[in-house]
């Protein structure tokens, strides 16, 4: 058949890219080959617009065992153990079909982890939606949360944390970024490499259907009026199947039967086979007649491009074929030999005895076009109106006006702030997630970072997701640095040491020079800060084309930071602990908004880390959206171990009361202690400003400002407003 | 003394139960594969939480056909201790080893959080170290935990003192707000008439160590050990 311009457009390929395909093959491709190239060279799979920038990210460090390029990054945590972790987006499917889109996002990231041999022990997610006063956004949120719960709960991984923000910017383009972390012995890592010429290539898991064909291509374009028509491109998830797949894969790995393995995610069978071949420098020959199929008469094109979920491709040692099949059959799974590793470097696909496609693996996996796209600082940036109070973004306009008005009813404004969509309790969301399965959750959703213990050791792992979209939109480079600083601060406040990170870079259309400029700036800011804090980026995901009807979203890099807590006795939470504890605010002398001084940040974090290790800190809470007033309120709410508790404090006067209460300055932490003097001295020695604000106690939250009582409210009342806000907005 | 933890395809709390028995209590424990046809050599069998067979058709509806369930029925018949937690409870009701059924939560959503349970009877091998009325803080995590039995069955369960735990508030009162899923009479856990089979929706396996927020669940496992030692 002839390849027409229309066919190229449908496949998202340019004329130039097509010419490159012809020159690689030294002939015209057939339709199946065109399909294979189009998914592998899609933005989603090839990173063709981002690779020139991503090279600038720091990826190496003493603890890093695996950086970018594999299914997940891996760091050494000592005791012979390692953790694999990664974050990935599922934005486009989640807009079209929120429940399944989010569910399969979770499924995909979990497969990335156990493909490497690690058992997933924690999941988190970072979500962005349009404001909840618009009906459609409620439906999307409910679907996404339901899908995450459906998949993670059944699979049996605890969803221990995450973040949710609302802004108009995400109204037509929600963000669903799923993170997962797994643990294993560091000498039992498995890679996606088709090694050993003659070794059998085995297909395991669910049957292949027509679902998800061109999912990767869909994720590489924006949406218009026809978004609904793309629903068939969304895959359907089966967490039960994936749970069986996990157990069978881990059993086969521990029995030493597997030499290479990769999950079939984006671009399914195509991507897993050619990437495994390319990494090992081998060829892979597939016989599609052997592939388990859900539907009759599927074409080679459909089988190669299907994104049916819960499938894995593995390469077994030659003499282990029957043992592998036995393990998978024990778990009730399909496992079929569908091909062999060859020495010619080609992906060769046969169907009905004929060769249907023959393409060099390297051409597909490594030789996609690279674009150094135009960069241009945007003319109009976001208004600076909410710079001091970014939490107001996503509020109804009337709420914003009330907050920014001349009102001096601080009780009412505090209540308004804690019940605003971006600050309200997320309990409605996280109680739908099983966050306790596997019995490792020491700190679940709601603190600065989630903490899970490592059984058999005294260690624990802290993890957090941070993606300040508004800040990055205002200043991409500074916003990215803030994200890194905050993520590290969250880990430190939890008693941990930041080790390494994974990033999910959610941006608009890379063909818009303004978007590419934002992207480049974010990479630079993130590189600088990650380098500074010694937290390399070991992999992640880029999601472009987050736009609908031509409007780009806020540039939203989400950083997933993983930290090590050397001893579980260091674990610290954000909530106030006991009556009479002293409340201290520590911050750099230099007060910044929307940017961070990295040296100041390091001084603050070092001070907190050593104070925690020396047992001087009873609680630590990072100040963020809503500033000091909101942070104080959050520390008072009831917890698992105690009822609501009050505090009486003097708010330091620097500027004016509204900013001193709610202003969002960088690099600030609220601590409680029994040893106020000792801690104050240490902070001063570290060059930090420190204020003893008051003490924990009673049932009311009382603020004084310049000698006058500004706030006096029962914590129960404030907490009720905070807890009920989200359910109310959704009802 | 040997505990067994059954693995069905889709179980996901088997490691948690195993860990409590082995590492918290320091007692011998082994896994039992759902295809096994015997539970010989075990003194107590735990059916862990999870989504056996993906909860397809109905929670527990397929798991009851696993070969091991015949062996467990015999074992229970002969007085062996059988403990079903969450999905394990659902399987036991489907298999007819416990009365009643677990319906979809009234809120139609999965709920994961700590709850207060009130101990209603100490006359079981699972609660012999507790006191009547003792409050336990143990988390739930389920979408189908709404206990139901028809009026006659419910009356028998209540009259026989088969209700072991009820959901209550922090003051120990049975209230509607304290009921997370719509269970009749706030029932969280019951035993059979012979009192050697316990099913409960809350997870003592997630609350047997202080570091996890509560060690109250450990008292249930310790009661089992106590019963096995003294029997």
List, for residues A423-462, the tens digit of each pLDDT value.
Answer: 999 999 999 999 999 999 999 998 889 999 999 999 999 9
CB proximity B120 to A under 8 Å:
no
CB proximity B202 to A under 8 Å:
no
Nearest CA in chain B to A159: B112
Find which of A142, A434, A640 to mutate to test the B interface (most B CBs within 10 Å of its CB). A434
- The Cα A122–Cα A454 span in angstroms is 11
In 3D, which of A459, A514, A462, A507 has the Cα closest to residue A489? A462
CB atoms B203 and A154 under 8 Å: no
pLDDT at B71: 98
Q: What's the Cα-to-Cα distance from B114 to each of A73, B84, B189, B200, B201, rounded to whole Å?
A: 34, 19, 15, 14, 12
Q: What's the Cα-to-Cα distance from B13 to each of B6, B50, B86, B180, rounded to whole Å?
A: 10, 6, 9, 21
CB atoms A441 and B49 under 8 Å: no
Average pLDDT over residues B49-62: 94
Distance of CA B59 to the CA centre of its chain: 14
CB proximity A436 to B under 8 Å:
yes
Alpha helix segments (H runs only) across B79-150? 87-94
Q: Are A701 and A718 in contact (CB under 8 A)?
A: yes
Q: How many CB pairs under 8 A join A and B?
A: 84
In 3D, which of B32, B124, B37, B125 has the Cα closest to residue B74? B37
Neighbours of B154 (CB within 10 A): 18
Residue A472: φ, ψ to 5°: -70, -35
Q: Which of A241, A243, A455 sits opposite B19 (nearest CB)?
A: A455
Query: Nearest C-alpha of chain A: how many angstroms from B125?
Result: 24
Residues of B in contact with A244 (CB under 8 A): 9-10
**ipTM (interface predicted TM):** 0.97
Average pLDDT over residues A176-180: 98
Q: In which band, very low, low, confident or very high, does the pLDDT at A230 lie, cut at 50, 70 and 90? A: low
pLDDT at A551: 87
CB proximity B55 to A under 8 Å:
yes
Nearest CA in chain A to B141: A434
pLDDT surpasses 90 at A44: no
Q: Which two tokens stand for residue A136?
A: 């459609």
A45 Cβ neighbours under 8 A, 6+ residues apart: A39, A216, A266, A267, A271, A368
Q: Of the ranges A381-395, B187-201, B203-217, which one carries the lowest mean pLDDT score?
A: A381-395
Return the CA Rg of chain A.
26
No. of helices (H) and no. of strands (E), chain B: 5, 11
pLDDT digits (tens, 9 = 90+) for A540-578: 999 999 987 778 999 999 999 999 999 999 999 999 999
- The Cα B48–Cα B57 span in angstroms is 19
Query: Nearest C-alpha of chain A: how many angstroms from B113?
Result: 6
Query: Nearest C-alpha of chain A: how many angstroms from B122?
Result: 26
Q: Are B145 and B105 in contact (CB under 8 A)?
A: yes
- What is the three-class DSSP state of A271? helix
CB proximity B53 to A under 8 Å:
yes
- The Cα A655–Cα A665 span in angstroms is 12
CB proximity B49 to A under 8 Å:
yes
pLDDT digits (tens, 9 = 90+) for A263-316: 998 889 999 999 999 999 999 999 999 999 999 999 999 999 998 889 999 999
CB atoms A434 and B55 under 8 Å: no
CB proximity A428 to B under 8 Å:
no
CA dihedral A61, A65, A66, A67 (to 10 degrees): 0
Average pLDDT over residues B14-24: 98
Residues of A in contact with B209 (CB under 8 A): 439
pLDDT surpasses 70 at A376: yes
Q: Give residue limits of the domains in chain B.
A: 3-230
Average pLDDT over residues B23-29: 98
Average pLDDT over residues A604-614: 98
Q: What's the Cα-to-Cα distance from B215 to each of A277, B94, B208, rounded to whole Å?
A: 51, 30, 4
A401 Cβ neighbours under 8 A, 6+ residues apart: none
pLDDT at A221: 67
Q: Which of B9, B15, B141 sits opposite A436 (nearest CB)?
A: B141
Q: Are A389 and A664 in contact (CB under 8 A)?
A: yes
- The Cα A191–Cα A195 span in angstroms is 10
pLDDT surpasses 70 at A3: yes
pLDDT surpasses 60 at A231: no
pLDDT surpasses 70 at A69: yes
- The Cα A376–Cα A668 span in angstroms is 34
CB atoms B10 and A243 under 8 Å: yes
Average pLDDT over residues A33-51: 93
For a pLDDT cut of 90, what percent of chain A falls above it? Answer: 89
pLDDT at A481: 98
Nearest CA in chain B to A142: B109
Q: Which of A155, A331, A430 sits opposite B9 (nearest CB)?
A: A331
pLDDT digits (tens, 9 = 90+) for A168-177: 999 989 999 9
A520 Cβ neighbours under 8 A, 6+ residues apart: A53, A375
CB atoms A442 and B206 under 8 Å: no
Residues of B in contact with A153 (CB under 8 A): 51, 110, 112, 141, 143
Find which of B87, B90, B110 to mutate to test the A interface (most A CBs within 10 Å of its CB). B110
Q: Which of B20, B109, B141 sits opposite A434 (nearest CB)?
A: B141
Residues of A in contact with B15 (CB under 8 A): 438-439
pLDDT at A232: 62
Q: Which of A332, A568, A640 sits opposite B9 (nearest CB)?
A: A332
Q: In which band, very low, low, confident or very high, does the pLDDT at A379 lie, cut at 50, 70 and 90? A: confident
Average pLDDT over residues A406-434: 97
pLDDT at A236: 83
- Maximum separation of any 2 CA atoms in chain B, in Å: 46
Residues of B in contact with A143 (CB under 8 A): none
CATH topology of domain B3-230: Rossmann fold (3.40.50)
CB proximity A442 to B under 8 Å:
yes
Residues of A designated as active site: 44, 90
Q: Which residues of A44-68 are buried (b: 16+ CB within 10 A; e: fewer)?
A: bbbbbbbebbbeebbbebebbebbb
pLDDT at A604: 98
CB atoms A432 and B206 under 8 Å: no
CB atoms A439 and B16 under 8 Å: yes
Q: Which of A240, A441, A442 sits opposite B10 (nearest CB)?
A: A240
Q: In which band, very low, low, confident or very high, does the pLDDT at A228 lie, cut at 50, 70 and 90? A: low
Residue A563: φ, ψ to 5°: -130, 160
Q: In which band, very low, low, confident or very high, does the pLDDT at A227 lie, cut at 50, 70 and 90? A: low
CB proximity A607 to B under 8 Å:
no
In 3D, which of A339, A264, A276 has the Cα closest to residue A304? A264
pLDDT digits (tens, 9 = 90+) for B137-182: 999 999 999 999 999 999 999 999 999 999 999 999 999 999 999 9
A 199-238 residues with CB < 8 A to B: 238
CB atoms A442 and B212 under 8 Å: yes
CB proximity A569 to B under 8 Å:
no
CB atoms A439 and B141 under 8 Å: no
Residues of B in contact with A332 (CB under 8 A): 9
| Residue pointed to by tokens 């129960």 | A716
Average pLDDT over residues A160-166: 97
pLDDT at A719: 98
Query: For residues A456 and B231, which has the higher predicted lDDT (pLDDT)?
Result: A456
Mean per-residue pLDDT of chain B: 97
pLDDT at A272: 95
Nearest CA in chain A to B137: A640
Q: Which two tokens stand for residue B176?
A: 């509607």
pLDDT surpasses 60 at A225: no
pLDDT at A222: 66
| Residue pointed to by tokens 């996609």 | A368
pLDDT digits (tens, 9 = 90+) for B64-121: 999 999 999 999 999 999 999 999 999 999 999 999 999 999 999 999 999 999 999 9
In sequence order, the β-bridge partners of residue A82 are: A76, A184
Q: Are A81 and A169 in contact (CB under 8 A)?
A: no
Q: In which band, very low, low, confident or very high, does the pLDDT at A212 lie, cut at 50, 70 and 90? A: confident
pLDDT at A226: 62
DSSP assignment of A454-495 equals -TTSS-EEEEEEE--HHHHHH-HHHHHHHHHHHHHHHHHHTT
pLDDT surpasses 80 at A329: yes
CB atoms B9 and A244 under 8 Å: yes
Q: Which of B51, B111, B205 sits opposite A439 (nearest CB)?
A: B205
pLDDT surpasses 90 at A215: no
Query: Nearest C-alpha of chain B: how many angstroms from A456?
Result: 9
Residues of A in contact with B56 (CB under 8 A): 240
Q: Are A413 and A403 in contact (CB under 8 A)?
A: yes
CB proximity B13 to A under 8 Å:
yes
Q: Which two tokens stand for residue B54?
A: 């993906």
Residues of B in contact with A243 (CB under 8 A): 9-10, 12, 51
In 3D, which of A200, A156, A375, A194 has the Cα closest to residue A271? A194
In 3D, which of A463, A409, A371 has the Cα closest to residue A163? A463
For a pLDDT cut of 90, what percent of chain B falls above it? Answer: 99
CB proximity A720 to B under 8 Å:
no
Q: In which band, very low, low, confident or very high, does the pLDDT at A640 lie, cut at 50, 70 and 90? A: confident
pLDDT digits (tens, 9 = 90+) for A474-493: 999 999 999 999 999 999 99
């Amino acid at each position: 058949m002839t390849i027409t311009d229309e066919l190229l457009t449908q496949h998202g390929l340019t004329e130039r890219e097509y010419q490159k395909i012809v020159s690689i093959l030294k002939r015209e491709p057939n339709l199946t080959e065109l399909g294979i190239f189009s998914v592998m060279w899609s933005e989603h799979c090839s990173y063709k617009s981002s690779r020139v920038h991503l090279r600038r990210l720091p990826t190496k460090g003493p603890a890093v065992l695996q950086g970018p390029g594999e299914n997940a990054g891996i760091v050494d945590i000592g005791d012979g153990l390692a953790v694999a972790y990664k974050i990935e987006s599922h934005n486009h499917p989640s807009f079209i079909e929120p429940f399944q889109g989010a569910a399969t996002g979770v499924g995909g990231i979990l497969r990335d982890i156990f493909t490497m041999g690690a058992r997933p022990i924690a999941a988190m997610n970072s979500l962005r939606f349009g404001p909840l006063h618009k009906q459609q956004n409620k439906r999307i949120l409910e679907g996404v949360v339901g899908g995450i719960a459906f998949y993670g709960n059944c699979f049996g991984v605890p969803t221990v944390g995450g973040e949710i923000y609302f802004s108009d910017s995400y109204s037509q383009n929600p963000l669903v970024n799923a993170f997962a972390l797994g643990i294993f012995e560091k000498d039992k890592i498995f890679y996606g490499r088709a090694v050993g010429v003659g070794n059998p290539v085995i297909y395991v898991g669910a049957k292949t259907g027509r679902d998800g064909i061109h999912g990767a291509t869909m994720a590489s374009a924006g949406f218009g009026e026809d978004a609904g028509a793309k629903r068939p491109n969304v895959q359907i998830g089966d967490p039960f199947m994936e749970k069986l797949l996990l157990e069978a894969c881990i059993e086969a790995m521990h029995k030493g039967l597997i030499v290479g393995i990769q999950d079939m995610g984006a671009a399914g069978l195509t991507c897993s086979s050619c990437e495994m071949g390319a990494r090992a420098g081998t060829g892979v020959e597939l016989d599609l007649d052997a592939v388990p199929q859900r539907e009759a008469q599927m074409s080679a094109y459909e089988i190669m491009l299907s994104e049916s979920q819960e499938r894995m491709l593995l390469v077994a040692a030659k003499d282990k074929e029957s043992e592998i099949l036995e393990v998978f059959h024990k778990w009730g799974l399909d496992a079929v030999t569908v091909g062999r590793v060859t020495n010619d470097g080609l992906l060769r696909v046969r169907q009905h005895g004929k060769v249907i496609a023959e393409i060099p693996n390297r051409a597909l996996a490594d030789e996609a076009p690279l674009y150094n796209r135009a960069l241009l600082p945007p003319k109009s940036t976001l208004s600076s109106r909410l710079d001091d109070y970014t939490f107001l973004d996503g509020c109804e306009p009337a709420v914003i006006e009330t907050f920014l008005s001349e009102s001096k009813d601080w009780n009412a404004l505090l209540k308004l702030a804690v019940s605003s969509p971006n600050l309200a309790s997320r309990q409605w969301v996280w109680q739908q997630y099983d966050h306790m399965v596997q019995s490792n959750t020491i700190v679940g959703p709601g603190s600065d970072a989630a903490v899970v213990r490592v059984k058999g050791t005294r260690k624990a792992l802290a993890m957090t997701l941070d993606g300040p979209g508004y800040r990055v939109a205002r200043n991409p480079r500074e916003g990215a640095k803030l994200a890194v600083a905050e993520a590290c601060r969250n880990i430190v406040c939890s008693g941990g040491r930041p080790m390494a990170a994974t990033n999910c870079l959610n941006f608009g259309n890379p063909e818009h020079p303004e978007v590419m400029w934002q992207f480049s700036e974010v990479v630079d800011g993130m590189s600088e800060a990650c380098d500074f804090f010694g937290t390399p980026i070991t992999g992640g995901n880029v999601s472009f084309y987050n736009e609908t009807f031509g409007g780009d979203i806020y540039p939203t890099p989400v950083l997933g930071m993983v930290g090590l807590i050397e001893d579980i006795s260091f674990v610290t939470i954000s909530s106030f602990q006991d009556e009479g504890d002293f409340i201290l605010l520590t911050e750099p002398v230099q007060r910044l908004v929307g940017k961070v001084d990295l040296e100041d940040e390091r001084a603050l974090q070092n001070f907190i880390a050593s104070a925690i290790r020396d047992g001087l800190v009873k609680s630590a809470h990072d100040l963020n959206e809503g500033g000091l007033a909101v942070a104080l309120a959050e520390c008072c709410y009831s917890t698992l171990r105690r009822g609501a508790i009050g505090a009486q404090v003097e708010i330091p006067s620097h500027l004016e009361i509204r900013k001193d209460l709610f202003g969002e300055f960088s690099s600030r932490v609220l601590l409680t202690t029994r040893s106020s003097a000792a801690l104050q001295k240490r902070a001063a020695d570290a060059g930090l400003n420190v204020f003893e604000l008051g003490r924990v106690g009673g049932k009311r939250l009382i603020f004084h400002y310049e000698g006058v009582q500004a706030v006096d409210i029962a914590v129960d009342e404030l907490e009720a407003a905070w807890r009920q806000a989200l359910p109310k907005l959704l009802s | 003394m040997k505990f067994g933890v059954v693995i069905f395809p889709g179980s996901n709390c088997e490691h948690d139960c195993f860990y409590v028995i082995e590492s918290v209590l320091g007692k011998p424990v082994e896994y039992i594969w759902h295809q096994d046809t015997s539970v010989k050599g075990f003194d107590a069998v735990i059916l862990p939480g999870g989504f056996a067979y993906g909860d397809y058709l109905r929670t527990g509806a397929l798991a009851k056909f696993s070969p091991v369930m015949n062996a467990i029925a015999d074992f229970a018949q002969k007085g062996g201790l059988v403990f079903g937690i969450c999905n394990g409870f659902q399987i036991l009701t489907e298999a007819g080893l416990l009365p009643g059924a677990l319906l979809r939560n009234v809120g139609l959503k999965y709920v994961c959080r700590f709850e207060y349970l009130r101990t209603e009877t100490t006359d079981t091998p699972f609660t012999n170290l507790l006191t009547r009325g003792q409050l336990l803080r143990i988390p739930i995590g389920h979408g189908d935990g709404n206990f139901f039995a028809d009026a006659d069955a419910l009356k028998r369960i209540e009259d026989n003192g088969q209700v072991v735990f009820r959901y209550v508030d922090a003051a120990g009162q049975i209230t509607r707000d304290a009921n997370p899923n719509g269970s009749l009479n706030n029932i969280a856990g019951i035993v059979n008439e012979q009192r050697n089979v316990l099913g409960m929706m809350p997870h003592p396996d997630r609350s047997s160590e202080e570091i996890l927020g509560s060690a109250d669940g450990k008292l249930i496992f310790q009661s089992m050990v106590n019963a096995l030692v003294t029997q």
